């Protein structure tokens, strides 16, 4: 089966002032698969993820060179509408960060921002998104309650529902389960497996078992270099690079 490439970078470099954080990164991320980014702390995983939906635009002194394309379009082109790009490419963070408002309003927030006013339409979106994030049954009787009253694992699924509500194309997840207990983590891993039927997912994880459980493709970064990228089964069974092997066998990082 041929992979359709949805995101690709060519000779991508990123500098924070004088610090060269990503070096000549070339990667092709396939559609409707899960790609995991792994590597030791500080190797550039979050930096790479944030450059895909232009979150780094908010940081002063960032310079990016080379090409980053989403469905064939240069995302740093001046003609690109960043609001549109961030609707296409949603992000879920490490710490659940629901807004201090009701469960319903959290999920309806994005659609309202994009102009949806009809109550019945919003009701539909909220239900569908909460179902998509596998939390509808747990919250359907208390949609007007504060999202902050939920457990961490539930809050993270609310954040996933909030991301799904604007019907993104791609979901980026930066260590989205590292603050969660094992049961919530396994719920979110199951959810990722379901979501990839419909979405392209890029995750960052420090958990090698998680990478092997949920990802199809895996990218290993070290000090800003993309050392190895390939099928997860191949990368974990017969890594091509000695440094990949040392990392996945726990010799450093």
Ligand X SMILES: Nc1ncnc2c1ncn2[C@@H]1O[C@H](COP(=O)(O)OP(=O)(O)OP(=O)(O)O)[C@@H](O)[C@H]1O
**Interface ranges with Mg ion (CB under 5 A):** 46
Q: How far is the CB of 130 from ligand X (least distance, A)?
A: 29
Between 50 and 217, name the residue whose CB sits nearer to ligand X: 50
**How far apart, in whole angstroms, are the C-alpha atoms of residue 184 and residue 164?**
19
Query: Interface mask (CB under 6 A) for ligand X, residues 38-57, using x and -?
Result: -x-xxxxxxx----------
Alpha helices in the chain (DSSP H): 45-52, 82-88, 103-113, 119-132, 136-139, 152-164, 182-195, 208-214, 232-237, 242-248
Q: How far is the CB of 123 from ligand X (least distance, A)?
A: 38
Q: How far is the CB of 52 from ligand X (least distance, A)?
A: 12
Q: How far is the CB of 65 from Mg ion (least distance, A)?
A: 22
Between 46 and 102, name the residue whose CB sits nearer to Mg ion: 46
Instruction: Tell me the CA end-to-end span of the chain in Å, nearest whole number.
Output: 34
Between 105 and 175, name the residue whose CB sits nearer to Mg ion: 175
Give the count of residues interacting with ligand X (CB under 6 A).
Answer: 12
221, 227 Cβ separation under 8 angstroms: yes
52 SS3 class: helix
Between 63 and 142, name the residue whose CB sits nearer to ligand X: 63
Site for ligand X in 177-196 (CB under 6 A): none
Task: Tell whether residue 162 is a contact of ligand X (CB under 6 A).
Answer: no
Q: How far is the CB of 45 from Mg ion (least distance, A)?
A: 5
Give the closest residue to 87 by CA, choosing from 68, 114, 47: 114
Between 46 and 184, name the residue whose CB sits nearer to Mg ion: 46
**How far apart, in whole angstroms, are the C-alpha atoms of residue 211 and residue 208?**
5
Q: How far is the CB of 145 from ligand X (least distance, A)?
A: 32
DSSP count for the chain of H helices, then E strands:
10, 10
Look at the alpha carbons of 167, 161, 27, 95 in this order and tell me if their dihedral is positive or negative.
positive
Site for ligand X in 2-31 (CB under 6 A): 16, 19, 21
For residue 185, the partner it binds in ligand X, Mg ion, none, with Cβ less than 5 to 8 A by kind, is none
Return the ∠ at Cα 217 (arms to 30 and 52), rounded to 5°.
Answer: 55
Work out which of 11, 59, 149, 241 binds ligand X, going by CB under 6 A: 59
Under DSSP, the state recorded for 4 is: P
For residue 59, the partner it binds in ligand X, Mg ion, none, with Cβ less than 5 to 8 A by kind, is ligand X
Interacting residues of 115 by C-beta distance below 8 A, sequence separation 6+: none
Chain residues in the site for ligand X (CB under 6 A) = 16, 19, 21, 39, 41-47, 59
């Amino acid at each position: 089966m041929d992979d359709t490439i949805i995101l690709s970078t060519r000779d991508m470099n990123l500098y924070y002032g004088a610090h060269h954080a990503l070096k000549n990164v070339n990667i092709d991320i396939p559609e409707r698969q899960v790609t995991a980014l792994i590597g030791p702390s500080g190797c550039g995983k979050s930096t790479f993820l944030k450059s895909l939906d232009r979150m780094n635009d908010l940081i002063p002194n960032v310079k990016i060179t080379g090409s980053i394309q989403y469905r064939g379009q240069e995302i740093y082109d001046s003609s690109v509408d960043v609001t549109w790009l961030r609707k296409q490419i949603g992000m879920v963070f490490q710490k659940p960060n629901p807004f201090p408002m009701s469960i319903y309003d959290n999920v309806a927030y994005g659609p309202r921002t994009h102009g949806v006013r009809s109550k019945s339409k919003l009701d539909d979106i909220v239900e569908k998104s909460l179902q998509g994030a596998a939390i509808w049954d747990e919250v359907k009787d208390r949609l007007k309650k504060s999202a902050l009253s939920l457990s961490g694992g539930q809050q993270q699924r609310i954040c996933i529902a909030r991301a799904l509500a604007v019907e993104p194309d791609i979901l980026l997840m930066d260590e989205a389960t590292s603050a969660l207990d094992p049961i919530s983590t396994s719920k979110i891993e199951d959810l990722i497996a379901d979501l990839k039927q419909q979405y392209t997912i890029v995750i960052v994880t420090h958990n090698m078992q998680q990478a092997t459980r949920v990802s199809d493709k895996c990218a290993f970064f070290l000090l800003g270099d993309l050392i190895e990228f390939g099928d997860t089964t191949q990368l974990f069974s017969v890594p091509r690079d000695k440094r990949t092997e040392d990392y996945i066998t726990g010799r450093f990082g």
